[in-house]
Structure 1
Amino acid sequence: MGLTHEHVRELLDYFPDTGEFRWKKIPHPATGMQRRHNTMRAGKIAGGKHNAVGCIVRIEGRYYPAGRLAFFWMTGRWPRSMIRHRNFNASDNRWDNLVEATPSQISRAARPHHDGSSRFKGVYLRKNGYIWTSQITLNGEVHFIGNFPDEETAARAYDVEARKHFGEDAFLNFGDEGSAQ
């Protein structure tokens, strides 16, 4: 049987403003006395850092990413797919930083990979070395936006398309103030 919402709330307190989980004191069901294994942990921060997923919490021998656990704690259900951190910091599990997202939504909000020729998302230098091309991926399909004389113009064209297709989920090369993020 899986972890129930009631059991999670019995074991842990979650603080939405900080994103922290803390262990609760748990009475033994038969005696009402504190459970020995939990007495020393009560009040302490639950979980720790993990490189791949940010913070994880171990409950009864099983590991849970803290963002997913926070979603479960707050809503009473596990996320249907994935959890996205609005500020891209997987260790920041404040409730207002967590968004339920599909893999497609996660990838379109992703920061640019700097393994190509451009420092901007959706932009690359053509093989001739003189023209910058902008493209966007929609539903797994790459769409050509255009060719541009410079990298920044191509990046701004990408931002226009990203805003149009992804709205607030878009990772933009330039914020509202016009400087690179």
Structure 2
Amino acid sequence: MAARKKQREKSKTRPVSKKSACRGASHGRAYGWGKIFLDKEGRWFHEGVEITHQRTIELFNRSIKKQPGKGYYLQVGRERAEIEVEDTPFMVRAVDFRDRQAVLVLNDKTSEPLDPASLRVGKHNVLYCKVKSGQFPARFLRPAYYQLMSCLGEDEQGFFLEIGGQKWRIAQAAAD
């Protein structure tokens, strides 16, 4: 017991080297941590372990930025960390129908009107659109997909959404 107390006292007075002081600095990675991954269902992982702390998830969701030609990263204050995104950086969690338009509720807790012209069907019939002024792709999660399907129609030209009395064709994504 006395040895532990002596060790604690010794560590309090030990000078901190520049190298050890910088150990926690990010150097382009969030808090010096390793791989951060966002899966296709909107779940965050750090080094393969799912992040379950709600405030951390919310912070990450609203901190996504795009680096042209290099993918996505998180920007939290001055800290920056590259992230690996399995499918899209944003997910549509819900669709609200207001004033003859569809309003998307995204994983970063923002809402915005659907741009029906940006809709497309991808592999495995997954529905996508553009969000954030057309800057980012977003994947419709199942609940939002089924909400939007209440407006789905089909004719000889294929599938369309009818919103506010207007028909919007749904494009088929090019084969990967």
Q: What TM-score results when the alignment is normalised by the length of structure 1?
A: 0.29
The structure with more strand, counted as a fraction of residues: 2
TM-score by length of 2: 0.29
